């Protein structure tokens, strides 16, 4: 059965981006966050992006208006009760996510699939907070969701084949290519590969081997990456690398994943990347 409506819990850059993507692909979306200003801000960002597309003649005014009309905002999680799929896209903190999953489990119908957009954390642990572990799954979009083509579909211990198939189908309907992560492991595929690159890049800078700018240039030209590691950390949020690193250390009990002091210090200084106007680089907000 084709899904025509989804819920998104969390209206930050990822949640808002997922809602934007779903709406332009013809899905109705209920976008929920704890305060009205968060959902209003997300809709304003979406409208701004759509206005740019209209100006570039990539879409019509009518198409823009239709996409915005497909998004309903709320601060009441009870409004997610009727949707067949809820995608959680809140802060990367396991306790906060577990609390959200417990609430969603109580609110949503028994057939509703609850998916997490977590980039690294255990789907099995989140599923254990519910009475429907077979219908809990990872659905990891990449930033920005409108552009990045991949969705990691992650199995928890009890995730059913049907759940994986339905979420994969929704991913395709949203114009993405799903890949199945068969075992619930920290970092899944992409972050399991990417985090060592981030940490080594910071260590190279910390040891004075090369400048941040030259490391980014070397990675872009030598590995043909579109962005260097420091540019990418600034784009996604520098603090996320620390959270993921800490989680890997806890899960693997291996200090090779420990965040270098330089990375910790830049986060402590409040330089979290583009969203704060400064990270590894300085930006005009």
Q: Which residues are annotated as a binding site for NAD(+)?
A: 10-15, 33, 92, 97, 119, 143, 275
Q: Is 119 a catalytic residue?
A: yes
**DSSP string across 161-205:** HHHHHHHHHHHHHTT-EEEEE-S--TTTTHHHHHHHHHHHHHHHH
Which is catalytic among the residues 191, 239, 241, 243?
A: 191
Give the span between the Cα atoms of 89 and 8, in whole angstroms.
7
Long-range contact set of residues 223-230: C-beta below 8 Å, sequence gap at least 24:
228/201, 229/197, 229/198, 229/201, 229/202, 230/201, 230/205, 230/279, 230/280, 230/281
Which is catalytic among the residues 20, 88, 117, 119?
A: 119
Element (H, E) at 5: strand 5-9
Task: State the Cα torsion 191-122-241-92 to the nearest 10°.
Answer: 130
Q: Is the dihedral of CA 282, 229, 8, 249 positive or negative?
A: negative
Q: Is 245 a catalytic residue?
A: no
Q: Is 191 a catalytic residue?
A: yes
Q: How far is CA 34 from CA 12, 38, 60, 68, 74, in A?
A: 11, 8, 32, 20, 8
Q: Is 140 a catalytic residue?
A: yes
Which is catalytic among the residues 20, 116, 120, 140?
A: 140
Which is catalytic among the residues 20, 88, 117, 152?
A: 152
Please give the positions annotated as active site: 119, 140, 152, 191
């Amino acid at each position: 059965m084709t899904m025509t409506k989804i819920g998104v819990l969390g209206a930050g850059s990822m949640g808002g981006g997922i809602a934007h993507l779903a709406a332009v692909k013809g899905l109705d979306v209920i976008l929920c966050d704890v305060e009205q200003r968060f959902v209003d801000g997300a809709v304003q960002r979406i409208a701004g992006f759509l206005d740019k597309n209209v100006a570039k003649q990539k879409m019509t005014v009518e198409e823009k208006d239709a996409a915005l009309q497909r998004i309903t905002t709320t601060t009441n999680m009870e409004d997610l009760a009727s949707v067949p799929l809820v995608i959680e896209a809140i802060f990367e903190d396991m306790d906060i996510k577990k609390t959200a999953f417990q609430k969603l489990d109580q609110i949503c119908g028994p057939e509703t699939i609850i998916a997490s957009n977590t980039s690294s954390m255990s789907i099995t642990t989140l599923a254990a907070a519910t009475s429907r572990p077979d219908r809990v799954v990872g659905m990891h979009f990449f930033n920005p969701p409108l552009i990045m083509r991949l969705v990691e579909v992650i199995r928890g211990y009890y995730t059913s084949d049907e759940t994986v198939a339905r979420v994969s189908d929704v991913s395709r309907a949203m114009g993405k290519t799903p890949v199945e992560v068969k075992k619930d492991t920290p970092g899944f595929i992409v972050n399991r590969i990417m985090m060592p690159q981030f940490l080594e890049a910071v260590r190279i800078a910390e040891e004075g081997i090369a400048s941040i700018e030259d490391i980014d240039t070397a990675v872009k030209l030598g590995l043909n990456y579109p962005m260097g590691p420091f540019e990418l950390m600034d784009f996604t949020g520098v603090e996320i690398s620390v959270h993921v690193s800490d989680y890997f250390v806890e899960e693997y009990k291996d200090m090779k994943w420990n965040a270098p002091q330089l990375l910790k210090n830049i986060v402590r200084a409040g330089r979290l990347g583009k969203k704060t106007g400064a990270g590894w680089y300085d930006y005009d907000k």
